């Protein structure tokens, strides 16, 4: 069964945007970096950018890495460095 966050992303292990936002605000300060070792859909990166934080993604699955790049670029209207 696939879960879904509120942006319509379907994945077996969805990390809701609100949970990522709460954790980001609790554990970091504006301008600091956040490491997302299982990027999958890029939710943490989107939230980090919206909260004035930097993010580093790690994703071994090429398909998820591409989906993450696309989602973050689309959500934030920016170009990501590979």
Q: What angle do CA 49, 2, 53 make, to 5 degrees?
A: 10
Buried b (16+ CB within 10 A) or exposed e, 7-39: eebeeeebbebeebbeebeeebeeeeebebeeb
Q: Taking all residues of the chain, what is their mean pLDDT, rounded to a whole number?
A: 79
At 16, list the tokens. Answer: 């809701």
pLDDT reading at 8 higher than 80: no
In a domain, 33, yes or no: yes
Per-residue pLDDT for 61 more than 90? no
As given in the structure block, the two tokens for residue 73 are 């670029």
pLDDT value of residue 9: 53
**pLDDT above 70 for 5:** no
Please count the structural domains in the chain. 1
25-52: pLDDT as tens digits: 999 999 999 998 887 778 888 898 889 9
Q: Give the pLDDT score at 13.
A: 65
């Amino acid at each position: 069964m696939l879960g879904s966050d509120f942006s319509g992303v379907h994945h077996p292990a969805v990390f809701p945007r609100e949970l990522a936002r709460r954790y980001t605000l609790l554990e970091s300060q504006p301008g600091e970096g956040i490491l997302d070792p299982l990027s999958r859909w890029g939710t943490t990166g989107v939230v980090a950018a919206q909260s004035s934080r930097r993010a580093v993604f790690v994703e071994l699955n090429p398909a998820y890495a591409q989906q993450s790049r696309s989602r973050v670029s689309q959500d934030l209207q920016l170009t990501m460095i590979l």
